[in-house]
Amino acid sequence: MEKARLEKIKRIFYVPFIEINGLNDLLELGQNLFFHNKDNEMEQIGKVFNLVKRNFPSDLHNILLYLLGELFDNISQHSNYSNCLFILSYNNELGIGRIAIMDDGISIPKAFEKKGINFKDDDEAIEMALRGISTKIESGRGFGLSSTKKLVEKALKGMFVIISRKGIYSSGKKSSRQLNLFNGTAIYLEFRDSGKSGKNLNIYKYLE
């Protein structure tokens, strides 16, 4: 991805895009969380999950693994990406967790177009995906993004942002413009761990 475009995306998120706790994390962020052409996909996912286990409080592991599992499978199944970047951070002092995932695949609106699913504009395509409309027809599909949004916003009381092609969804905010950043999809999650959010959290009650 061009440097100038990446800078533009960083500004959209309004927060430091990369926050690291130490040199090891820096090395891992640089070396391990960049997926390219689906090489060693499973090995890379394993590394992402291990980073979560090492850097996030154990109370949050269950919910974060669920979120990452859904988001990653979504990318793997639908986006036809060449490059995918995961960025994770957790600030121990403030208890703020951030996860960003970007891919240069076909985007949500394009995936809908390819399946003949109609929508007004790219914002609406994203909203439809968040409501559970899927390009796959089997039962039990379409839960990935919708359940992720529900868990972030309701269980973690956090912020959920999706940018896909020219569309954007941001928790609680109405977009008034169509973006023109890149053709893939970027997802950003941010939440504050109050020390209570993950404790005894039964994620299944939010998912039924």
What is the DSSP-derived secondary structure letter of residue 59?
G
Does residue 46 belong to the site contacting another protein (CB under 8 A)? yes
Structure-block tokens of residue 199: 């404790």
What per-residue string of b and e applies to 57-74 under the rule 16 or more CB within 10 Å gives b? bebbeebbbbbbebbbeb
DSSP string across 133-175: --S--STT-S-HHHHHHHIIIIIS--EEEEEETTEEEETTB--
**Total residues interacting with another protein, rule: CB under 8 A:** 25
Q: Which 101-140 residues touch another protein, going by CB under 8 A?
A: 138-140
User: Site map for another protein, 58-97, x if CB under 8 A?
Assistant: ----x--xx--xx-xxx-xx--------------------
Does residue 34 belong to the site contacting another protein (CB under 8 A)? no
CB atoms within 10 A of CB 156: 25
User: Cβ of residue 65: shortest distance to another protein, in angstroms?
Assistant: 5
User: Cβ of residue 172: shortest distance to another protein, in angstroms?
Assistant: 25
Task: Name which of 16 and 46 has its Cβ closer to another protein.
Answer: 46
What per-residue string of b and e applies to 117-152 under the rule 16 or more CB within 10 Å gives b? eebeebbebbbbbbeebbbeeeeeebebbbbbbbbb
Does residue 45 belong to the site contacting another protein (CB under 8 A)? yes
User: Cβ of residue 132: shortest distance to another protein, in angstroms?
Assistant: 10
Among positions 16, 26, 131, 143, the unique one binding another protein when judged by CB under 8 A: 143
Residues that bind another protein (CB under 8 A): 41-42, 45-46, 49, 62, 65-66, 69-70, 72-74, 76-77, 138-141, 143-144, 147, 204, 207-208
